[in-house]
Amino acid sequence: MVNEATQLAALAAMSNRYGADSAYVLAGGGNTSYKNDKNLWVKGSGTSLATIKAEDFVVLERSKLDAMWSATYPEEEAAREAAVLADMMAARVEGESRRPSVETLLHNLFPQKYILHVHPAIVNGLTCSVEAAAAMERLFPAAVWVDACKPGYILAVECKEKMDAYKAATGKDCDLLFLQNHGIFFAGDTVEQVQALASHVMDTLQGVVTKEPDMEPMAYDAAVVDQWKAEIGKLFADNAVVEFTVCPQVLAYDPATKSLSPDHIVYAKAKQLAVKTLTQLPESYATFVAENGYKPKIVFVEGLGMFACGTSQQEAHTALIVMLDAIKVVAYTEAFGGVSAMPDFLIDFIINWEVESYRSKVSLGK
């Protein structure tokens, strides 16, 4: 007889381990789950893997999740996603009030008991690269690849088709799934199997990366930086918090690079402001807002470094570390033919996607 409490304790411990490791998880990114024949326990939307407890996972009935595959949903995008979300919420066990991860359907697709979904920079160095699919096939021939597509229900449908085809061709269930411009899923019937698979992937990628990103902090003129902080803060909000960082990789980064993954848009916005001088800042800032409809969370100053903004310390710091992650990803793509950003249709979708807005607000305590 499987001890459910023991299994959930193992899920929480696995979640905490990877959630606290910045090589695997930043901000509210990533999710985990455990399942038996009847129920699925999955991380709630916007909650932290680093601190989640066994009792914090959202519990759903697998039979109701399975039934969603035979449901007919509207073709119109907003209506479809609303209907899917309603059915997913209705699949929660009686008394459950929390919101499950948007990737719950995908977690339920895997027959394995434990699932770890994360977005490591070195993994996304592959998934956000020109040679992405070919590189995965070469390095991980037993894995499944899914091209960039809209998250939520559409992603789950795409994954189901690819996973079903894999099983039909090999007679085996997929335990390693790469998502273009997104991340990776690891699956196993034990926590140890998941950990071994994750270590294998990370070690393999470390072995082929030609150059590690140079993120070593550099010296800077504090008086100059403070002046920039003050001026950027005035433009961002009355109660703005502004953080600064500089390292060789930041100075080498091209701020015109398009968004690489959903998390980069959710926490650091789809575009970043780049300026050269303090006198240019007000006009450049106003033009950016007029063109994009939002204030930049990230400001690059040529030859100086990068500023991150928020209305709280947490929001500003989250924007900073997520943008640094994007910069790392760009550096890692050099081992796989260079950068391949998210397609425009997907960038636009993430910008306007209600689910990601909810996740961001919850993870930032709003």
- Both structure tokens of 162: 């690819």
Q: Residue 183: which H helix or E strand, with range?
A: strand 183-188
Rg value, the chain, Cα: 21
Q: In what order do the strands lie in the sheet with 273-275?
A: 241-245, 305-310, 298-301, 273-275
Domains and CATH numbers, the chain: 4-208 (3.40.225.10), 222-363 (3.40.225.10)
* Cβ burial, residue 169 (10 Å; 0-12/13-18/19+): exposed
pTM over 0.95: no
For residue 328, which of 104, 123, 81, 78 has the smallest C-alpha distance?
123
Cα separation, 145 vs 196, whole angstroms: 20
**CA distances (Å), 227 to each of 244, 251, 284, 295, in order?**
12, 19, 17, 19
The distance of Cα 77 from the centroid of its chain, to the nearest Å, equals 22
Backbone φ, ψ for residue 95 (5° rounding) = 90, -10
Amino acid at 205: L
Give the amino acid at 120: P
Dist. CA 310–CA 273, nearest whole Å: 15
- pLDDT tens for the 366 residues of the chain, in order: 468 999 999 999 999 999 999 999 987 678 999 999 999 999 987 788 999 999 999 999 999 999 999 999 998 888 998 999 999 999 999 999 999 988 999 999 999 999 999 999 999 999 999 999 999 999 999 999 999 998 888 899 999 999 999 999 999 999 999 999 999 999 999 999 999 999 999 999 999 998 899 999 999 999 999 999 999 999 999 999 999 999 999 999 999 999 999 889 989 999 999 999 999 999 999 999 999 999 999 999 999 999 999 999 999 999 999 999 999 999 999 999 999 999 999 998 888 875 444 444 444 444
Tell me what pLDDT residue 366 has: 47
Match 């969603």 to its residue by tokens.
68
Gap between the Cα atoms of 216 and 224, Å rounded: 20
